[in-house]
Chains A and B, each alone.
Chain A
């Protein structure tokens, strides 16, 4: 009896928490004419896809940019993080504690400050408005986290496994590539997942380093809508829904990795 009651309360709490998400979808389907209605429509009474049509018409290239930048960030982050995590977890050279400290501190630097520094450098090098420039900047959000979380995953790979490979004649590179890396696949998924999400939703770097050109990520697309026309909230919300799709997909496909990532973010070594 009490369990059933708990389920009911849980459902109500979840509904309250997710109401803004529902509202985003609802507004995205509301025709522009009914937007200012008071009281508002609680359900999409007369659903329209004009918001989504506009998104497809105007935002498709931005969508592609976001995807490109996010995937590039994942690749760069993993390429940097996996070998270093292996060294930190299994080879543990002198000074690895200091490096761990630097990584912790790096995570605490506000993105807005990094953005100003990057802007100064990019302007003097003339590389603003480039996709790879954005990839490089966005990766700074994820790299320290990825190294730390991969280190804790790789540390949990039994040393006997590595030793066995070494006895079979594998060098450090082989041991890393064929033993430790596959064994910590979950860590790689978690690190990749968060790199993707953070790069996908980055606004600070996009707004500062990628303001002028045609190559803009989706977050700037939404921002431009908000700035330009406060009237067409269905287009803004439709873009928001589209921008949320990766988060939704990842949550469904990989919810236990997400939870692992959140927890590891707090209690990492």
Chain B
């Protein structure tokens, strides 16, 4: 398991060989890249442009199929912003993202520190921790839906041992968001564990030895050595987590469909709800919500790239 970091720590070599002629290698390289560029234009550019176009027109099912939808410019955006659901969805997205990140990172870091020591079965158990991350999201979602079922769910049954009353995890407006956050934390912990663990492996043992010689206890070593040295990896883990969490749709949709009464609706599920969730699709507003979400993701993405650049500069 030690060699897992091998591909990422190696930096690209300085220059490709044989760059004597100027033109030919350029052409050659772009010949290798041409299929990818065509693909990016067709499979990313075109759908995204279509999405912007959708958000600026007023569609009905008829005009969606046959064309000729009138251009209404920013009417869809105005509709969406005026909708009371917008505030709930934005707030839920923020709460969902913040809570997921905080706990995924917290648990991930604690586990990474725990698994950093050598003990029997350690690597095997750490590999098993990956399972929740590898499962299809629909599988995790439906499993958690059953675990949290009010009447026959095992979670309520265990809480009952401690004298807790029945909690309507998925069907009460005050718990539905908590439920989907719990499931999402469970899904995200393995990713944090693996990345932070590999970050820990890169901290030289001598630093710890020096700290021990200076009389630092375990907690002090963590606070003054591990945590600061891990900061760049932590930043990237959290930002990637942010980008992933903004996208989460499957789990929420499968567990609660954003309900009850919109109490667990995020921008992602709302966009789907508007576009595909009913017999009367509202493609324009759906696309508008989607584009708002893209903007949020892009801001997060730019932060991520900045953090990564800073980490690369020694």
Could you list which residues of chain A lie within 8 angstroms of chain B, going by C-beta atoms?
Answer: 3-4, 6-7, 9-11, 13-14, 17-18, 20-21, 23-24, 27, 35-40, 79-81, 83-84, 86-94, 96, 99, 101-121, 123-124, 136-137, 139-140, 143, 147, 149, 151-153, 155-156, 158-159, 162-163, 166, 172, 176, 186-187, 197, 200-201, 203-204, 207-208, 219, 222-223, 226, 233, 236-237, 240, 243-244, 247-248, 250-251, 255-256, 258-260, 262-269
Min C-beta distance of A214 to chain B, whole Å: 19
Is B283 touching A256 in the complex (CB atoms < 8 A)? no
Chain A residues with CB under 8 Å of B160's CB are 39
Q: Which of B28, B29, B151, B254 contacts A226 (CB 8 A)?
A: B254
Seed contacts A18-B132, A83-B33, A172-B28; 8 additional CB < 8 Å A-B pairs: A10-B114, A21-B131, A116-B51, A147-B36, A162-B17, A240-B139, A265-B240, A267-B195
Is B32 touching A116 in the complex (CB atoms < 8 A)? no
Chain B contributes a number of interface residues (CB within 8 A of A) equal to 111
Is B152 touching A35 in the complex (CB atoms < 8 A)? yes
In the assembled complex, B313 has its CB within 8 A of some CB on chain A: no
In the assembled complex, B77 has its CB within 8 A of some CB on chain A: no
Which chain A residue shows the least CB distance to B198?
A: A263
**CA–CA, A167 to B119, complex, Å?**
49
With A155-B11, A258-B130 known to touch, is A163 a contact of B243 (CB < 8 Å)? no
Could you list which residues of chain B lie within 8 angstroms of chain A, going by C-beta atoms?
Answer: 1, 3-8, 10-13, 15-18, 25-26, 28-30, 32-33, 35-37, 39-40, 43-44, 46-51, 53-54, 64-65, 67, 111, 114-115, 117-122, 125, 127-140, 142-147, 151-152, 154, 157, 160, 186, 189-191, 194-195, 198, 233, 236-237, 240, 243, 246-247, 249-250, 254, 268, 271-272, 275-276, 283, 286-287, 290-291, 293-294, 297-298, 300-301, 304-305, 308
Chain A residues with CB under 8 Å of B18's CB are 163, 166
Min C-beta distance of A235 to chain B, whole Å: 11
Q: Which of B8, B26, B119, B127 contacts A7 (CB 8 A)?
A: B119
5 examples of A-B residue contacts, CB within 8 angstroms: A10-B114, A108-B300, A140-B44, A147-B36, A223-B138
With A40-B152, A102-B40, A108-B297 known to touch, is A248 a contact of B131 (CB < 8 Å)? yes
Q: What DSSP secondary structure best describes chain A's contact surface?
A: helix
Chain B residues with CB under 8 Å of A90's CB are 16
With A87-B32, A108-B301, A109-B297 known to touch, is A9 a contact of B114 (CB < 8 Å)? yes
